A and B are shown apart, each in its own frame.
Chain A
Amino acid sequence: MPINYYIFLAIALFCIGVVGVLTRRNAIIIFMCVELMLNAVNLLLVAFSKMHHAVPGAAANAGTDGQLFVFFIMVVAAAEVSVGLAIIVMMYRNIHSVDVNFLNRLKH
C-alpha cells in the first residue's frame, strides 16, 4: 500500500484533533482530542517503520526503533492522562465546572 495513504490519513486525524482542541470548551473533550493527535502520530510512525523495512538493502531489524518509539509514546500518554484527569477532577471540585473559559487565570 503506498505510504501516501497513511500520510494523508494521519494528517486528517491530526487536523481533526486540532479542530477539536480549538473549538470545544469541555476540558475532558480537549484531552480526548490530544489523545487523537497522539494516535495519528503513532499511526504515521508505524507506517514509516514498515516503509523503512521495505527499503531494499535495509538491515533485518530495520524499523524496530519506530515501533518501540510508538510503545514509549503510549507509555507517556498513559501517565499524562492519569495526571491530567486528576487535575480535572480537582478543578471540578473547586469551581464546579469543566469549562476551560473559567480557567483564564491561574490564581483567583
Chain B
Amino acid sequence: MALFGAMMVITSKNPVYSVLWLILTFFAISGHYILLNAQFLAVVNIIVYAGAIMVLFLFVIMLMNLNQTIEPKKNRWLKFAGAISGGCLLLVLVAALRNTEIKSQTAMVNTGDIGLIKNLGKELFSTYVVPFEISSILFLSAMVGAVVIGKKDS
C-alpha cells in the first residue's frame, strides 16, 4: 500500500491529488511503525507529517491556484532518462543487498518496549538533551526565516 501510494504521488498530474496520495503513504508508514511497536514514532509521524506538513503543502498549492495542471510540455527524453536512472539505482541496491549475511536477522514485531514514550523520554532527556535544545533553536530560526522570506517586498 505504501508503494502504491508512493507511485501515485509521482504519477498524478494534479498536485492536490499528489498530496493526498502522499498522506496515504504516510499513514501506511505509520502502520509499519505500529507493527514494529514504535508507537511514539507512529503518533508523531501522523501528527507532524500527515497533520502539519501536508496541510502546509495544501495551503501553498491552493494559495498559488495550482489546481489545474499547468505543467508545460516536458522533454520526454529527460523523463525517460530520469526513470531509467532511478530504476538502475533500485536494481543496483537490490542486487547488492540481496545476499548479505544480515538476512538471518529479524526485526522484532509486536514485542519490546523501547518504542514507548517512557523509555524514549528517559533517553531523550538524559543523553540527548543538548541536541534537543539545539533542535528547538533550529525551529525558532526556521520560523523567523520563513516569516522573513515570505514577507511581501521587503
Contacts and interface: CB of A to CB of B under 8 A. Distances in A.
A17 B22 CA distance: 11
Contact of A82 (B10, B63, B142, B152): B142
Given A11-B93, A88-B60, A3 B105 contact: yes
B74 to A, nearest CB: 6
A22 B85 contact: yes
Q: Is the interface of B mostly helix, strand, loop or mixed?
A: helix
B24 to A, nearest CB: 12
A22 B15 contact: no
Q: Is the interface of A mostly helix, strand, loop or mixed?
A: helix
Contact of B6 (A8, A17, A77, A82): A17
A9 interface: yes
Given A64-B119, A87-B149, A89-B64, A29 B38 contact: no
Contacts of B89: 15, 18
B145 to A, nearest CB: 5
Contacts of B41: 42, 46, 67, 70-71
In the complex, which of the residues A32, A42, A63 has the most CB atoms of chain B within 10 Å of its own CB atom?
A32
Given A33-B10, A36-B9, A67-B41, A22 B138 contact: no
Task: Give the size category of A's interface with B.
Answer: 35 or more
Contact of B108 (A19, A54, A71, A80): A54
A75 B135 contact: yes
A39 B26 contact: yes
B149 A83 contact: yes
Contacts of A72: 128, 131, 135
B2 A13 contact: yes
Contacts of A28: 15, 57, 60-61, 66
Contact of B48 (A47, A67, A74): A74
Contact of B56 (A7, A9, A43, A81): A81
In the complex, which of the residues B22, B29, B44, B94 has the most CB atoms of chain A within 10 Å of its own CB atom?
B29
Contacts of B81: 22
Given A67-B41, A67-B120, A71-B120, 16 more contacts: A2-B106, A2-B107, A4-B103, A13-B25, A15-B86, A23-B10, A28-B57, A28-B60, A28-B66, A42-B45, A46-B36, A50-B115, A55-B105, A89-B60, A89-B64, A98-B66
